[in-house]
Amino acid sequence: MKKFLSLLLVLCVLLSLAVLSSAEGVMTHEEYAAAELDAEVTVETYVQAKQAWWENKATIYTQAEDGAYFIYQLPCSEEDYAKLVPGTKIQVTGYKAAWSGEVEITDASFQILDGSFIAQPLDVTDLLDSEELINHQNEFVSFKGMTVEASNEEGAAFLYNWDGSGTHEGNSDLYFKVSKDGKTYSFTVESYLCDNTTDVYAAVENLKVGDVIDMEGFLYWYEGANPHITSVSAAQ
């Protein structure tokens, strides 16, 4: 019995060491945020949504309990892409990069781990005009009581593409403007994330200037906050 307990203790110690070894080098979100651009980074995070899969590369919105990560063009087979359903835990090793203010992980590899987490939207309405907003970049967020403003001089409530050059049939991105407390912001329905068959795409196409709406989406960044919206509803 003593020999069995001793063996069991040894096995527990070895297992603990193996777990520590597998987690070695994994960063907290705070450590990731402090890392220099172009530095190699390793994070453990959870898939929240997938933007696109093309030529064996995936673009993914992910989030852990302490922060979010945008994974850009992650090498990924179509078979593995199908496994990356919302909530899936992954470990990602790549390089920290930035493009027009959007901080992301590129040139990465990943492995699927045990575990699941779905982020609840954080209401950042009151942070829209603050420097604190960027601290929540790429997180799943919500906006409450926003008023739809005209997107061009003709008074359109939204535009297909940023300049109005697109079409519904062309599955163009949707751009629209909303205001709060006298400040106006530009939001987007990214068609790779939510295409022209989705509820949110239809909801934005049906907006009218003056509508007051609530929204959810991912706090993407392009020369400032440019949220990628995934749901729109009448303000509650």
Indicate whether 89 pLDDT > 70: yes
Answer yes or no: do 85 and 168 share one domain: no
pTM: 0.89
Over residues 16-52, the pLDDT tens digits come to 434 433 467 999 999 999 999 999 999 999 999 999 8
User: For residue 5, what pLDDT band results from cuts at 50, 70 and 90?
Assistant: very low
- Count structural domains, the chain: 2
Domain boundary among 61, 85, 116: 116
Residue 95 structural domain: 24-116
- For residue 159, the domain's CATH number is 2.40.50.140
Report the pLDDT value the prediction gives residue 119, as an integer from 0 to 100.
98
Q: Give me the mean pLDDT over the 118-125 stretch.
A: 98
Specify if 11 maps to a domain.
Answer: no
Predicted pLDDT of residue 23? 61
Helix/strand/coil (H, E, C) string of the chain?
CHHHHHHHHHHHHHHHHHHHHHHCCCECHHHHHHCCCCCEEEEEEEEEEEEEEECCEEEEEEEECCEEEEEEEEECCHHHHHHCCCCEEEEEEEEEEEECCEEEEEEEEEEEEEEECCCCCEECHHHCCCHHHHHHCCCEEEEEEEEEECCCCCCCCCEECCCCCCCCCCCCCEEEEEEECCEEEEEEECCCCCCCCCHHHHHHHCCCCCCEEEEEEECCECCCECCEEEEEEECC
Residues 108 and 131 grouped into a single domain: no
Q: Is the pLDDT of residue 114 over 90?
A: yes
**105 shares a domain with 143:** no
Confirm whether 16 is domain-assigned: no
